[in-house]
């Protein structure tokens, strides 16, 4: 968790309403920090106010910044403002961490047929309109050259079922390392399951309402239902890199040449068939969430939450477990939603 910077970003320093909203966040953060220093419990309130402050630094769009400014200055009192921050905690940051309760599709799923050449495998496994996770993974592997786009390691399962890939990897194991890969969705499969713009029920709809306020009005329909598996929303990543991406510990940004980069620069992201590369817009939204989540302390809190849940068997009689119970109920609802989608 990192305290808010003393000023808004340089590009916004001439904007009076942004400065006013940010100063409100700084005032409340200071008040809460004094309480923390005195040993007074303030729950997750410090996280909530820092989420709002860091949204003014890292919201993925200027429209998003302005919307957050309007919410801050129109909130009727500090409690109402903290509720706004709580809404972003639950319905912007947590949805990107939904895979912490992951029911992962393992790389050990049913084996595909064997092929002699890469071209033959590409032609046979390409899916024009992917309707499932498996089909999305097949297309992502084709586009990404059957490799993790970060580490450049070849997908071990593909190598085992393709003679040409196997021979390529065997030429020099150090030059062509292998790993089990995962089909990584930028927006989780559960985040937009059959949500229309008119449906305002459930946590997924609340997430998309935030996205619409940020100016991304077409995303709910662009990613509705099976469209969540579109090529723009999936990346091939090695298992460890996949988990780091899902845990918001790794994100990608667009370079001036529109090539993508992250902790490791991505090269050769050029599809061998006519498949779109991952959407820079989707990756920008994910990156903003990752930055805000880490700087505000939200992801650190969620890490701690999972540890406490695993080690807890009873609730504290003095009510100290109330926040933990609230989060546990929220998490159970998310897991039930995931299971409903997968089943």
3-state SS, residue 182: strand
Do residues 185 and 226 share a domain? yes
Q: Phi and psi at residue 238, in whole multiples of 5°?
A: -60, 160
pLDDT at 290: 93
Q: Tell me, yes or no, whether 297 lies in a domain.
A: yes
Q: Tell me, yes or no, whether 52 lies in a domain.
A: yes
Q: What token pair was written down for 108?
A: 């050990």
Do residues 158 and 51 share a domain? no
Do residues 210 and 298 share a domain? no
pLDDT at 97: 81
Q: Round to whole Å and give the CA distance between 260 and 269.
A: 8
Q: How many domains does the chain have?
A: 2
Given pLDDT bands bounded at 50, 70 and 90, which one contains residue 315?
Answer: very low
Do residues 20 and 159 share a domain? no
Please list, in sequence order, all residues whose beta carbon lies within 8 angstroms of the beta carbon of residue 55, skipping any fewer than 6 positions away: 64, 65, 68, 88, 292
Q: Round to whole Å and give the CA distance between 25 and 100.
A: 29
Residue range of the domain that includes 82: 10-100+289-309+321-342
Give the residue-averaged pLDDT of 44-58.
95
Do residues 180 and 261 share a domain? yes
Do residues 142 and 182 share a domain? yes
CA angle, 251 as apex, 246 and 256 as ends, to 5°? 155
Do residues 269 and 127 share a domain? yes
Q: Tell me, yes or no, whether 314 lies in a domain.
A: no
Q: Tell me, yes or no, whether 5 lies in a domain.
A: no
Q: Tell me, yes or no, whether 214 lies in a domain.
A: yes
Residue 105 has pLDDT above 80, yes or no: no
Q: Round to whole Å and give the CA distance between 332 and 343.
A: 16
Do residues 92 and 112 share a domain? no
Q: Tell me, yes or no, whether 84 lies in a domain.
A: yes
Residue 287 has pLDDT above 50, yes or no: yes
Name the burial class of residue 6, with classes exposed (0-12), middle (13-18) and buried (19+) by CB atoms within 10 angstroms of its CB.
exposed
Do residues 250 and 132 share a domain? yes
Do residues 232 and 325 share a domain? no
Where helices occur in 110-177 by DSSP H, the ranges are 118-125, 133-143, 156-160, 163-171
Name the burial class of residue 102, with classes exposed (0-12), middle (13-18) and buried (19+) by CB atoms within 10 angstroms of its CB.
middle
Do residues 147 and 255 share a domain? yes
Do residues 155 and 268 share a domain? yes
CA nearest 104: which of 29, 34, 43, 189? 189
Given pLDDT bands bounded at 50, 70 and 90, which one contains residue 263?
Answer: very low
Q: Phi and psi at residue 237, in whole multiples of 5°?
A: -130, 145
Which DSSP helix (H) or strand (E) runs through 236? strand 234-238
Percent of the chain at pLDDT exceeding 90? 49
pLDDT in tens, 164-178: 989 888 888 888 888
Residue 341 has pLDDT above 70, yes or no: no
CA nearest 249: which of 205, 306, 287? 287
Which stretch of 86-100, 102-116, 226-240, 270-284 has the lowest confidence by average pLDDT? 102-116
Q: Tell me, yes or no, whether 315 lies in a domain.
A: no
pLDDT in tens, 29-38: 999 999 988 8
Q: How far is CA 13 from the centre of its chain?
A: 29
pLDDT at 271: 52
pLDDT in tens, 60-95: 999 999 999 999 999 999 999 999 999 999 999 988
pLDDT at 339: 47
Q: Tell me, yes or no, whether 271 lies in a domain.
A: yes
């Amino acid at each position: 968790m990192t305290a808010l910077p003393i000023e808004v970003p340089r590009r916004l320093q001439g904007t009076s309403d942004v400065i006013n909203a940010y100063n409100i966040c700084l005032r409340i953060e200071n008040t809460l920090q004094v309480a923390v220093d005195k040993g007074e419990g303030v729950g997750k309130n410090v996280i909530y106010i820092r989420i709002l402050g860091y949204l003014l630094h890292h919201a993925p769009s200027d429209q998003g910044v302005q919307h957050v400014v309007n919410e801050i200055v129109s909130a009727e009192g500090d409690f109402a403002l903290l509720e706004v921050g709580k809404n972003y905690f639950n319905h912007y940051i947590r949805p990107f961490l939904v895979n912490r309760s992951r029911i992962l599709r393992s790389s050990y799923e049913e084996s595909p047929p064997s092929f002699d050449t890469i071209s033959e495998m590409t032609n046979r496994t390409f899916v024009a309109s992917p309707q499932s996770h498996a089909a999305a993974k097949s297309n992502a592997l084709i586009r990404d050259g059957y490799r993790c786009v970060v580490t450049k390691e070849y997908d071990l399962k593909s190598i085992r079922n393709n003679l040409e890939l196997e021979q390529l990897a065997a030429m020099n194991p150090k030059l062509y390392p292998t790993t089990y890969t995962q089909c990584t969705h930028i927006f989780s499969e559960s985040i937009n399951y059959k949500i229309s713009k008119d449906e305002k029920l459930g946590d997924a709809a609340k997430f998309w309402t935030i996205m619409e306020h940020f100016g991304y009005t077409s995303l709910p329909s662009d990613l509705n239902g099976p469209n969540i598996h579109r090529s723009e929303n999936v990346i091939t990543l090695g298992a460890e890199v996949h988990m780091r991406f899902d845990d918001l510990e790794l994100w990608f940004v667009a370079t001036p040449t529109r090539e993508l980069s992250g902790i490791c620069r991505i090269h050769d992201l050029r599809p061998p068939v006519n498949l779109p590369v991952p959407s820079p817009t989707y990756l920008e939204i994910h990156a903003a969430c990752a930055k805000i989540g880490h700087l505000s302390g939200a992801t650190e809190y969620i890490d701690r939450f999972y540890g406490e849940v695993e080690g807890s068997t009873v609730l504290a009689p003095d009510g100290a477990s109330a926040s933990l119970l609230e989060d546990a109920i929220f998490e159970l609802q998310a897991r039930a939603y995931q299971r409903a989608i997968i089943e």
